[in-house]
Structure 1
Amino acid sequence: MLRHRFLLSFARFAPERSFLHALFDMIESNNRKELSMYPFLSCTGALLLAALILSGCARFPLPDLRQCAPPSHTQTVEQLHLAPQNQQPLYAAWIPYFACEPLFASGDAAAVKSAVTDLLRSQKENGITTVFVHVCAFGEAGYPSAFYPRNPAVNGYDTLQILSDVCAALGLELHAWINPLRLQTTAAMQKHHDDALLSHWFQDEQLRKENLVLWDGRWYLNPASDAVKEFLAGAVQEIMTQYHPAGIHIDDYFYPTTDPAFDAAAFEASGASDLAAWRREHITNLMKTLRQAVHQADPDGIFSVSPQGDLQKNYDTLYADVAAWCADGTCCDLVIPQLYFGYEHETAPFSALLDRWKALPLAPDVRLAAGLAAYKAGNVDAQAGSGAQEWVTHPDVLQRQINDVLSDPAFSGVVLYNSFVRQP
C-alpha cells in the first residue's frame, strides 16, 4: 500500500505561482563555476547566493505550473486511507552539495540560518513542496555521525538539524540525500582522525582491504561486502531516527567502472561465474537493505532513487537493474529517472525516454516521478548531437516537459536539477 506521508505531500500543495520563477538567472550563463571550488566563500557569499536565487530576473519566459495540466487520475480511497480527493503532483528540487555547503561558511550561526531560510523560502514561494538535500556526498557527514567523519566544508554546523528546523517552519518536506558508495580521495581521508566507523576502517589495513576499494584516485565502499551493507543500514537509520526526514534519497553513483579489476578478489572468492550478474545482485541487495532500514526507522519513510535516464546504461555499466527494482516492490518507494534530454536529442529524445519509463511494470508500492534538467534551459547541449541548440532556440522546452509529465498518469510529479547553479 502507498506510503501515507508520500501521499500527503501530494495532497496538501496548491501552487500559487510558478515554481521556476527564480531559476533562469542562475542557469542561463555558460560561465557559472561550481561553488565548491570556492572553500573561502564567506557568509556574504552565501547570502549573495540566496539573493540571486530570489531574484527571478530571466531572459526566457518562465514555465508556470498554473498552466500545466495536472494528472488525469485520482487514487482510490483504499489506496489513500483518506476521503476521495484529487491529488496534487509532487513538485520538488534537488539541492546538491555545492549549492548547500557555501551557506554554512560563516562563523555566525544566525547568518547561516538566515541564508538557509532564504534559499528554502525561495523554493517554497516558487511552488516547491519537497527538497532533496545533499547531506553526505563523499562519505563526509554534514551532521554528527557515528558512521561518517564530519564534512569540513560545513564548519562544524549540524546541517541536518538546521535544514530540518527550517523546512518544518516553511512546511517543506525534507529528504536526506546521500551517496552510499562514493568516498573521498586518499589525501582527504587521511585528514580524518576521529571515532567514526568509516575512519576506523580506513586506518585499519585489513578492514580497509575488506570494505573499501581505491579506483581512479577515489575510494569507494565495496557493495560486495556484507559489512558495508550493515554500515549503510546503520548510517541510514541514524539519519532517520535523529532527524526524522521524510525519507532517504540516493542518486546514480553505483559501481564506478566496468573493469573487472575493481573487485577481482571479492569476485573470485565468491565462486560466481558471471561478474555482471554478481554485481547487479549486490546492488539490488543494497537497495533492499537501505529501503528496509528506512522503513524500520519510520514505517512511513520513503526510500527514493534517481537513476540515469538510460535504462540500458544503468543495467550494463552501473549494474543497476532498475526495471527489476520497479517491479519488485522491496527495493525502493520512489524512482526519479534523470530525464535530462531535450525532444530533439539525437540519440535519446525526451518523448521516447518518457515512453520507455512509463512502460515499466510498477509494484503497487512504487511510484515514478521525472527528474528534469532545469540547468539546460537557455544553454547549448553539447551531448545532444543535431539537437544541441534546442534549449537555446526553444525557450519552452522545460515547460513542455513539465506539461508532458504532469498530464501522464504514470508519473507522480517532477523534480528539478539544478535549480540553483549550473551542473558541475
Structure 2
Amino acid sequence: MGSLRAILTVFTTTLLAATLVAATPSAAGPDARARASDAAAQNRSADTSDAVAPAQCDIDPPTPKRQFRAMWIASVHNIDWPSRTGLSVSQQQAEFRSWLDVAEENNFNAVIVQIRPTADAFWPSPHEPWSHWLTGTQGRDPGYDPLEFMVAEAHKRNIEFHAWFNPYRVATHTNVNNLAAGHPVRQNPDWAFAYNGQLYYNPGIPAVREFVQDAMMHAVQNYDVDGVHFDDYFYPYPASGQQIPDQDTYNQYGGGFSNIGDWRRNNVDLLVQEMNARIKQAKPHVKFGISPFGIWRNSSTDPAGSNTNGLQSYDAIYADSRRWVTEGWLDYINPQIYWEIGHSAADYAVLVPWWSDVVSGTDVQLYVGQAAYKVGDGGAWNDATELSDHLHLNRNHPEVRGDVYFSAKDVDTDRLGSISRLTADHYRRPALIPDMPQLGGSAPSAPSITDADRTGSGVSLTISGNASSYAVYRFNGDTTADPCDFDDASHLIGTVRASGSGATFTDSTADSQGYTYYVTALDRTQLESEPSARAVVQPGSGGSWSMTIDDADSGFTAGDSWGTSSWSSERHGDGYRYADPVAASDVAWFLADVPANGSYRVEVWYPSNSGYNSATPYIIATSGGNEVVRVDQRSGGGQWVDLGTFTLPAGERNVVGVSRWTSTSGYVVADAVRITRV
C-alpha cells in the first residue's frame, strides 16, 4: 500500500490545514494509523456493584475485579488481520489465533475486530460482497466463514468478540467500476458520493440508512457476537477546499432543518438510535458501543465542551457523541483520547475527567481509546511509562471502566517495553467484563465444583451450573474465603466459557502446594452469582511449572570469549550471546531452580543466520548425566525449538548449556531457554 509514513503525513497535513492550527490535534479512527500519524486527539479500581460494599473491603487498586481490556484488530489496509491478502485459510486462521494469544498474554478479556471495513463483509452476507481485504479481490469467497471462525475461537478462551463495523465507508478509492459486480453502489450509484479520494454511502438518504443497518444486523442476528462497535467515521473528516456533495440530498430530505449541519447530525443520530433499538430487539444481551473522536466540542465554542483546542467532532463530522450518551442510545462510549498527559491542545488529563462527567449518572460505560501506535513517536511518547501513567490517572475517575488499544500489532510489538510495563502495573491479574444490569439479565444460581483433581498439566476443575461463563478463584492452603476476598481480582485466576450444563477449567499455574477453589457463574450481561461451595485440593505432585531464562538474566553465565549482540530481530529479549567454535567446552550455562524430580520439556530460542553453526551443542544436565542435542542454528530461529523431554533432578543448578566444542564452522549462539514440567 506504499509508504505508510508518507500516507500518514499527507493525510495529517491536509486535515490540519483544513481545520486546526498546527499545534491542535487532528482527526482519526481506530484504524487511523493507515491514514494519519497523529490522527486522534481506566480503570475502575474496583466494581462498586458487587455484593460487598467497597467501604467494607480493602480493595487492591492494581487488581480491579471488573475492567474492560481490549485491542482493536483492524482489517482495512490489512493493518492487523489478515496481515496481507491472499493468505490460505490455515494461514489466516493461525494468524487470528496468534492475536488471541496476544490478548491472553496481556490479560485482555475482549477483542474488537473489524468485519465490515469498506461496505464489504467478513462473512457470507446477502447484502454486500466478500471483503477485498481477505483475498485481494472483492466478492471472492475466502473458502470458509471468517466471522464464524473468529467468534468461536474467541469464545473458546472466553474472550468477548465485538464486531466492528464502519457504517458508511464504501471504498478507499472513488471508482465505482472497481467495486464487485452486484455491489449495492453499482446497482444504486446515487446512494454514494466521492470525497477526498474515497467513496461513502450518503447518510442523508433514508433508504441508505436502512440498508446499512440491514447489512450490519445480518451479522448480529446470525452470529454469536458479544458487541456491536462503530468507529468514528460517519460523515467524512473535512478536507481542505472540498465540500461534501450532499446539497441536493438536503434539499430533498432536509425539511424542518434550518441548516445542513443540524440535518447531518440528525442523520447520524437516527442511525445510532435506530441501530441500538434493532440490536436490543434482536438480542438484548448484545452491547452497542461507539469509539468517537476524543473531542466533542471545545469549551470556547460551547460551555458544555472540554477545555481543549482541537477539531470538534460535533461540528466537523456531525457526531453528537455527548447526546448519544445522555439519551442512552449506547451501552458504552469509547472515545479515542489519543494524546499524552500535558498535550497543549488536548490534554489527556483534561479529557478523561470531561468524559467521566458525561457518563456520570447514566447507564453508559466509559472505556478509553489508547494510542499504543504512538509509543516511540517522540516527545512524551518516548517515555515507556506514558500509557501506564494514563491508567494510573484513570484510577482517580471510577467512571472509567476500561481501555481499548489501537492496534493489535502495536500491542504485540511492545515498543520501549510500554505494554509490558502497563501489564505489570495494571493487568497482573485477570478481570471480569463490567456488568450491564440495564440489559435485562439476571445473576445465575451459584454453581458447584463437582470434581477437582491434580493432573499432569495442573489442577482440573469440573464445574456444574447454568450460566454463560464461570469465574475461578484460588486461595493457598485449606481455607475458607471471606466475602471481601471476592471484591477484587487478587484471587481470580481465570474464566471459562460454559459448555452445556457446566465447564472444565485447568489451573495450569498450580504447583504442588494445597489450594482451595471457589467458582462463580455469570450470565451474558456479566452479572455474577454467589460463590460455590469450596473445593480443597491437597498438596501433592503434579501441576504445571515453567521457567524461562534469558541471556540477560542473573541465571545465565558465560566466559569472556562470549560476545554480546542485539543485531538480529529474531532475538529473545534485548540481545543474545555468541562465540566462535573451539576444541574446548567453554559452556554458557542457564541456571534454573527445578521444583521437583520429574520429566521436563526443554526448549531453546536463538536467532538464526546462514553464518551460524550447523551443529551447535546444547547440553542438558539430566538425572542420569549430561545429554547433548545438536541444533542447526542456520535456520528455524526466532521461535521456541523443542529439544525433547528429559528427567531432571530437583534443585537450583545449571540445567542447560551451550557449548563451543564443535567441529563445524560458524558462531554458536546462546539466547534463551524454557523448561516446563510435563
TM-score range, shorter chain: 0.7 to 0.9
Residue 380 (structure 2) aligns with: 390
Aligned CA distance change for structure 1 residues 153 and 69 (closer, same or farther; 3 Å):
closer
Residue 310 (structure 1) aligns with: 295
Residue 174 (structure 1) aligns with: 161
Displacement of 1:363? 6.0
Residue 116 (structure 2) aligns with: 136
Mapped pair 1:71 → 2:71: no
Alignment counterpart, residue 343 of structure 1, candidates 341, 344, 350: 341
What is the one-letter code of the residue matched to 2:229? H
Displacement of 1:231? 1.0
Q: Distance in 2 between matches of 1:307 and 1:113?
A: 30
CA contact (8 A) 1:341 1:348 kept: yes
Q: Distance in 1 between matches of 2:324 and 2:369?
A: 18
CA deviations 1:127-180 (Å, max 9, x no partner) are 110000011111121211111111133131422112112101121100010100
Q: Distance in 2 between matches of 1:404 and 1:188?
A: 47
Query: Post-superposition, which runs of at least 4 consecutive aligned residues in structure 1 deviate over 6 A?
Result: 30-34
CA deviations 1:15-61 (Å, max 9, x no partner) are xxxxxxxxxxxxxxx98999xxxxxxxxxxxxxxxxxxxxxxxxxxx
Displacement of 1:217? 2.6
Give the alignment of 1:15-30 within 5 angstroms: none
Displacement of 1:191? 3.9
For 1:311, what is the secondary structure of its paired residue? Answer: coil
Give the alignment of 1:189-208 within 5 angstroms: 190-194=178-182, 199=183, 201-204=184-187, 207-208=188-189
Mapped pair 1:218 → 2:198: yes
Q: Distance in 1 between matches of 2:334 and 2:292?
A: 7
For 1:412, what is the secondary structure of its paired residue? Answer: strand
Alignment counterpart, residue 405 of structure 1, candidates 386, 390, 394: 394
For 2:200, what is the secondary structure of its paired residue? Answer: strand
Displacement of 1:105? 3.5
For 1:93, what is the secondary structure of its paired residue? Answer: strand
CA deviations 1:46-99 (Å, max 9, x no partner) are xxxxxxxxxxxxxxxxxxxxxx9752451266xxxxxxx974111111111120
Q: Point out the structure with the larger helix share.
A: 1
Aligned residues: 336
Residue 319 (structure 1) aligns with: 318
CA contact (8 A) 2:365 2:401 kept: yes
Residue 612 (structure 2) aligns with: none
Alignment counterpart, residue 227 of structure 1, candidates 207, 210, 215: 207
Please identify, of 350-359 and 288-297, the stretch whose mean Cα deviation from structure 2 is larger.
288-297
For 2:72, what is the secondary structure of its paired residue? Answer: strand
Larger Rg: 2
What is the one-letter code of the residue matched to 2:296? L
Q: Point out the structure with the larger strand share.
A: 2
For 2:149, what is the secondary structure of its paired residue? Answer: helix
Mapped pair 1:283 → 2:268: yes
CA deviations 1:227-255 (Å, max 9, x no partner) are 11211221222111221200110111111
Aligned CA distance change for structure 1 residues 88 and 182 (closer, same or farther; 3 Å):
same
Q: Distance in 1 between matches of 2:99 and 2:81?
A: 9
Alignment counterpart, residue 110 of structure 1, candidates 86, 90, 101: 90
Aligned CA distance change for structure 1 residues 213 and 414 (closer, same or farther; 3 Å):
same
What is the one-letter code of the residue matched to 1:100? W
What is the one-letter code of the residue matched to 1:306? S
Displacement of 1:104? 6.5
Residue 263 (structure 1) aligns with: 246
Aligned CA distance change for structure 1 residues 256 and 104 (closer, same or farther; 3 Å):
closer
What is the one-letter code of the residue matched to 1:121? D
What is the one-letter code of the residue matched to 1:92? A
Give the alignment of 1:144-155 within 5 angstroms: 144-155=124-135
Alignment counterpart, residue 187 of structure 1, candidates 164, 170, 175: 175
What is the one-letter code of the residue matched to 1:181? Y
Residue 53 (structure 1) aligns with: none
Q: Distance in 2 between matches of 1:291 and 1:189?
A: 33
Aligned CA distance change for structure 1 residues 69 and 261 (closer, same or farther; 3 Å):
closer
Residue 90 (structure 1) aligns with: 68
Alignment TM-score, normalising by the size of structure 2: 0.47
Q: Distance in 2 between matches of 1:234 and 1:244?
A: 17
Give the alignment of 1:288-299 within 5 angstroms: 288-299=273-284
Q: Distance in 1 between matches of 2:344 and 2:153?
A: 42
For 2:271, what is the secondary structure of its paired residue? Answer: helix
For 2:216, what is the secondary structure of its paired residue? Answer: helix
What is the one-letter code of the residue matched to 1:333? D
CA contact (8 A) 1:332 1:366 kept: yes
CA contact (8 A) 1:406 1:412 kept: no
For 2:277, what is the secondary structure of its paired residue? Answer: helix
- Flag structure 1 segments of 5+ consecutive residues without an equivalent: 1-29, 35-67, 78-84, 381-388
What is the one-letter code of the residue matched to 1:326? V
RMSD: 2.7
Q: Distance in 2 between matches of 1:308 and 1:31?
A: 21
CA contact (8 A) 2:177 2:186 kept: no
CA contact (8 A) 1:280 1:321 kept: yes
Alignment counterpart, residue 419 of structure 1, candidates 397, 408, 420: 408
CA contact (8 A) 2:43 2:400 kept: no
What is the one-letter code of the residue matched to 1:335? I
Aligned CA distance change for structure 1 residues 92 and 171 (closer, same or farther; 3 Å):
same
Residue 18 (structure 1) aligns with: none
Q: Distance in 1 between matches of 2:274 and 2:229?
A: 13
Q: Distance in 1 between matches of 2:6 and 2:174?
A: 28
